[in-house]
Structure 1
Amino acid sequence: MKILKWIKRLGMLLFLIFVLLLITGFVFEKISRAKAEQMKADGQFAEVDQHRMHYLKEGTGGPTVVFETAFDPAGHLQWYHIQKNLPKTYTTFSYDRSGILWSERGKNPKSGDKIAEELHALLEKSNAPKPYILVGHSFGGMLTRFFVKKYPQDVAGVILVDSQYPADDQYLSPELYKMVNQGLPGGFLKFANTFGAARLMFKNMFPAEPQYKYQNTIMPALLYKSADATLEEQDHMKSMKKEAAAINSFGSVPLYVLTAGDKTRYDNFIKDEKTKTEMLGAWAKMQKDLLNLSTDSKQIVLPTSGHYINQDQPKIIEDAVNQMVEKVSGK
C-alpha cells in the first residue's frame, strides 16, 4: 500500500512539474513574440492581394535574379548571404512567401498558381527589372514551374538547386516514397510552437558560423509566424506536386541543374544501406531528368555538398548565377 501511495504522489508531482513547464513555456513564448514584433525588417514591403509581403532587393538594372526558398520557415534568409555577395551590377530579389517571416498570410490558397501570382505581383510592385532569372532550391525549384508556365515572356533563365522532383513516385519504391513524403508532425509542432519549444528546436537551423549569426537570430524569433504557413504548404504539397508534374517544359529557356552529390547526406535519417542506396540512385535519376525541362540545359554535380547547397557551397551558386546573367545578357 505504501508503494502505491508513493507512486501516486510521484505521478502527481510529475504532472505538476509538467503543468509548470507548460505555463513557463507559454509565458516565455508570449514575451518572445512581443520582442519579435519590435524587430525591424531588413527589406521592404508591398501590398499584394490586400496583404503585405516582404522582399529584399539589391543592385540595379536587369536582369533580376529571383530567389525562391525551399519548404522552409527561414524564407528569404536562406539566400541572405548569397545575395549580399553577388554583384550590384544587376538586381537580386529574395522574399518571404505569404505567412512566412515578415510577410502577412493573406487569404489566397497555398497553391502553386497563387504563389506564382503573388511573386509576380510583388516583382511588379517593387519595380524589379525584367527579364527574370529564377533560382529555386528544393520545393522552391518545383515552384519555378508554375511561374514559368504563367509568365514565360518574363523568364530568361532558371537555376534549380537540388530541386524537388514532383513525380517522385515514378522513381521511388512505395516504401521509400512513403518515407520521403511523410512530412513534419504538424500537430506536435503546433503544440510546441504555442509553448515555446519550437523556437528552441529550430534555434540553430543555420550553421554555427559568424556569417549566419543574423539568420540564427531572426529565424527562431519569427518562427511563431512562419510555422503555421509552412505546415499549411505541407498540407497542400500533394496537390502542388501533381500540378507541377504536368508542367514538363520550359521550352528553350536556359536551365542549370545544380545537384548535391555527397553520398553520406542521408546517413542521419536512413540507416538501412539498401534503402539509402536506392534513395541516392533515385535522386540522381530525378536530377538528370530535370534536364529535359529545357532544350538548353546543363547539370553541375557537387560531390561534397548536401541538400542545402546554399549553405555547403554557396560559391557554386554565386558562380552559376553570374554565368547565367552573362548568358542571358549576351555578354
Structure 2
Amino acid sequence: MKKIFVNIGFGILGLILVLLIVGVIYENLGRRNAAQNFPPPGKLVDIGGRHIQLDCRGSGSPTVVFQSGLDWAGSLSWSAVHDEIAKTTRACAYSRAGIMWSDSHEAPQLAKSIAEDLHAALKNANEKGPLVLVGHSAGGPYNMIYTKYFGADVTGLVFVDTSHPDQISRFKALKALESDSTQLSRELEWNWSVFLYKSAAALNWTGIVRLVAAMDEDGDQTDPNDQAVNAYSSTTISSVLKENDAFEQTLNEAGTFRHLGDRPIVVLTAVPPVPKQELPKIEKASRENFLVMQEDQAKWSSQSQHQLVHDTGHYIQSDQPAVVIDAVRSVISKVREK
C-alpha cells in the first residue's frame, strides 16, 4: 500500500514538472512572438542603461504628452486620440518603466522616479517644451508631480477622470456607512485579489499570466491594441503591481503640490449612466465625494474649465474620444495665445 502512495506521489510530481517545462517553453515562445508581432510604436529611448518607449507624432508647439493611468496598456491607452492631436501639434505617448515595451527597474515605482524617467526620455529624444500634460486616472497625480519637479516645461494640463490626492482618506471615511460584515467582505475580496495578482506576477515565468490573457481574447475580433497588451501582460504585471503598491505614496506627494498658477487646465469628469435601481448609500456617497474632489482640481488654476462627461465609463478617451480631443485642443489654443 505504501509503495502505491509513493508511486502516486512521484507521478504527481512528474506531471507538475512536465507542466512547468511546457509552461516555460510557452512563455518564452510568447515573449519572442510578442517582440516580432508587436514591435514598439515610436522608439525606445535610452535613459542611462534602461529604455523607455516613446511614441511622438506630428509637429508643432506645444508638445502634448499623454500619461496613462494605473493599467497595462501604456502608450496604447491613448490610441483613440493620439493621431487626432498629432494633426494639431506634436503629440507624445509613452509607457512607464516595465509597462509594455519599456524596461523595468528594481527600485520601487515611486512617482518622483516616474517623473525623472519621463523627463530623461523627452530630453534624450530631443523632444522640447513647452509641454501640455494629459493624464488619465493615476496619470493626473503623476502629471502634477512632474509639474512639481519640472514645472518650467509645463504650460497646461488636461485631467481625464483623474485620481485626487485626498481620495484614499476620503473613501476610508465613507466606510462608516457600511456594516461591519460588509466592510469585512470587501477587505477579504480586495486582499484575495491582491494575493492572486501578486502570485501571478511571481509565476509569470510559467506562462500562467499569458495563458489567462489569451483566454480573454475574443478570437479574430480582438483589437490589435488589445492583442499587444495581452502579449506583454506577463512582463507588465509586476510593474503595474509596483505602481499600485506605491499608489498611496504617489497621492501623498501629489497632495504637496496643488497650485498651477495661470496655466490653462481642463478637468473632465466621467458621469456613469444612472442605474435603474437606487444606488447603495456608500456608492452614492462615493460618487458625490468624487465629484467634489474633481471640482477641487479645477480650482488649482486661475484658468480652468470643469466638464462633466455624461454616460461614459472611466476611460473617457476610449468611450468618448472626441471630448478628450476637444479638451486638449482647447488647452493648446490657450497656450498659443499667451
Work out the CA distance in 2 between the residues paired with 1:281 and 1:113.
Answer: 30
Given that 1:67 and 1:94 are in contact with CA atoms closer than 8 Å, whether structure 2 keeps it comes out as yes
TM-score (norm 1): 0.84
Counterparts in 2 of 1:208 and 1:326: CA distance versus 1, 3 Å: farther
1:308 counterpart = 2:315: yes
1:224 counterpart = 2:234: yes
Name the residue aligned to 2:25.
Answer: 27
Give the 3-state SS of the residue equivalent to 1:150 in structure 2: helix
Name the residue aligned to 1:327.
Answer: 334
1:68 to partner: Cα distance: 0.4
Name the residue aligned to 1:36.
Answer: 34
Letter in 2 for 1:197: I
Once the two structures are superposed, what CA deviation does each residue of 1:86-120 show, in whole Å capped at 9, x if it has no partner? 34341000111111111112455421111111111
Q: How many residues align?
A: 322
Name the residue aligned to 1:3.
Answer: none
Work out the CA distance in 2 between the residues paired with 1:205 and 1:43.
Answer: 27
Given that 1:76 and 1:96 are in contact with CA atoms closer than 8 Å, whether structure 2 keeps it comes out as yes
1:252 to partner: Cα distance: 1.6
Given that 1:67 and 1:135 are in contact with CA atoms closer than 8 Å, whether structure 2 keeps it comes out as yes
Given that 1:108 and 1:114 are in contact with CA atoms closer than 8 Å, whether structure 2 keeps it comes out as no
The gaps in structure 1 that reach 5 residues or longer are 1-8
Given that 2:109 and 2:246 are in contact with CA atoms closer than 8 Å, whether structure 1 keeps it comes out as yes
Work out the CA distance in 1 between the residues paired with 2:143 and 2:302.
Answer: 17
Q: 191-200 or 248-257, which moves further after superposition?
A: 191-200
Counterparts in 2 of 1:259 and 1:184: CA distance versus 1, 3 Å: farther
Work out the CA distance in 2 between the residues paired with 1:171 and 1:117.
Answer: 29
Name the residue aligned to 1:277.
Answer: 284
Counterparts in 2 of 1:300 and 1:200: CA distance versus 1, 3 Å: farther
Given that 1:113 and 1:147 are in contact with CA atoms closer than 8 Å, whether structure 2 keeps it comes out as yes
The gaps in structure 2 that reach 5 residues or longer are 1-6, 177-182
1:307 to partner: Cα distance: 0.6
Name the residue aligned to 2:131.
Answer: 132
Q: CA RMSD in A?
A: 3.4
1:261 to partner: Cα distance: 0.2
- Say which structure is richer in helix: 2
Letter in 2 for 1:246: T
Work out the CA distance in 2 between the residues paired with 1:229 and 1:291.
Answer: 30
Work out the CA distance in 1 between the residues paired with 2:23 and 2:210.
Answer: 11
1:118 counterpart = 2:117: yes
Work out the CA distance in 2 between the residues paired with 1:206 and 1:300.
Answer: 34
Of 208, 211, 216, the residue aligned with 1:197 is 208
TM-score (norm 2): 0.83
Work out the CA distance in 1 between the residues paired with 2:42 and 2:19.
Answer: 37
1:19 to partner: Cα distance: 6.8
Of 259, 282, 285, the residue aligned with 2:269 is 259
Letter in 2 for 1:172: F
Work out the CA distance in 1 between the residues paired with 2:337 and 2:319.
Answer: 30
Counterparts in 2 of 1:28 and 1:256: CA distance versus 1, 3 Å: same
Work out the CA distance in 2 between the residues paired with 1:204 and 1:132.
Answer: 40
Given that 2:201 and 2:234 are in contact with CA atoms closer than 8 Å, whether structure 1 keeps it comes out as no
Given that 1:112 and 1:240 are in contact with CA atoms closer than 8 Å, whether structure 2 keeps it comes out as yes
